[in-house]
């Protein structure tokens, strides 16, 4: 399974995408294997539903295959392009899911499905609220950098490329944001440990 003399796993992201666009099944498989963890990670971070996240991941790869010919490397890396597709599909799924009203008759059945105790939900919700508030308190550029790194799994190099900034600036934004978050979130977290 080689293309251009290199093992598929060593080809660039762009070369794998181009191979997938031509219909080469081995390129498509290598492409999916390379990005499946990232794509699923983004989807699960946005929707917090493993089954739906798997569906979003599959839709992401289908869309990447259908639109591979229009990928433009001047607008970002393949990884960034794929992350954007995943994020947009996941947000659309959240919007569609939240737009469905629940009738009062169905509410009791839905409440029975919940596997966490009310205390667990309350603690998780409280922690998530604290983290959201702490991130919201950061300067915008630092908040963007830490979210791209923490939620989307982007490296400092990818963030620099995506934001159009020097690599050192991206690293500084992430490091400074993480330090501020530790300062804000650290004391109470230590009390709970």
Per-residue pLDDT at 190: 39
Per-residue pLDDT at 40: 92
Residue 74: pLDDT band (50, 70, 90) is confident
- The per-residue pLDDT for range 152-178, each reduced to its tens digit, is 777 888 888 888 899 999 999 999 999
In 61-166, the DSSP E strands lie at none
- Give the bridge partners for 6, in sequence order: 3
- The CA–CA distances, whole Å, from 108 to 103, 111, 122 equal 10, 5, 19
Please tell me the distance from the alpha carbon of residue 144 to that of residue 177, in angstroms, as a whole number. 9
Please tell me the distance from the alpha carbon of residue 138 to that of residue 134, in angstroms, as a whole number. 7
Query: To the nearest whole number, what is the mean pLDDT of the chain?
Result: 79
- The per-residue pLDDT for range 99-156, each reduced to its tens digit, is 555 455 554 454 444 444 555 545 555 666 778 788 888 898 898 888 888 777 778 8
Please tell me the distance from the alpha carbon of residue 24 to that of residue 126, in angstroms, as a whole number. 48
Per-residue pLDDT at 103: 54
Comparing 127 with 81, the larger pLDDT belongs to 81
Please tell me the distance from the alpha carbon of residue 184 to that of residue 66, in angstroms, as a whole number. 44
- For residue 53, pLDDT beyond 60: yes
Determine the average pLDDT of the residues in 82-109: 71
Per-residue pLDDT at 115: 43
Comparing 102 with 59, the larger pLDDT belongs to 59
What percent of the chain has pLDDT above 70? 76
- For residue 60, pLDDT beyond 90: yes
């Amino acid at each position: 399974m080689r293309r251009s003399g290199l093992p598929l796993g060593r080809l660039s992201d762009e070369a794998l995408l181009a191979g997938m666009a031509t219909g080469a099944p081995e390129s498509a498989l290598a492409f999916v294997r390379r990005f499946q963890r990232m794509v699923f990670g983004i989807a699960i971070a946005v929707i917090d539903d493993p089954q739906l996240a798997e569906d979003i991941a599959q839709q992401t790869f289908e869309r990447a295959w259908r639109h591979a010919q229009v990928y433009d490397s001047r607008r970002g890396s393949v990884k960034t392009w794929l992350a954007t597709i995943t994020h947009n599909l996941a947000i659309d799924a959240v919007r569609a899911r939240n737009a469905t009203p629940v009738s009062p008759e169905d509410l009791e059945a839905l409440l029975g499905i919940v596997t966490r105790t009310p205390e667990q939900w309350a603690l998780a919700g409280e922690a998530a609220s604290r983290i959201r508030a702490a991130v919201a308190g950061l300067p915008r550029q630092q908040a963007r950098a830490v979210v791209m790194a923490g939620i989307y799994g982007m490296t400092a190099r990818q963030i620099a490329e995506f934001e159009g900034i020097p690599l050192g600036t991206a690293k500084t934004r992430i490091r400074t944001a993480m330090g501020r978050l530790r300062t804000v979130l650290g004391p109470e977290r230590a009390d709970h440990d």
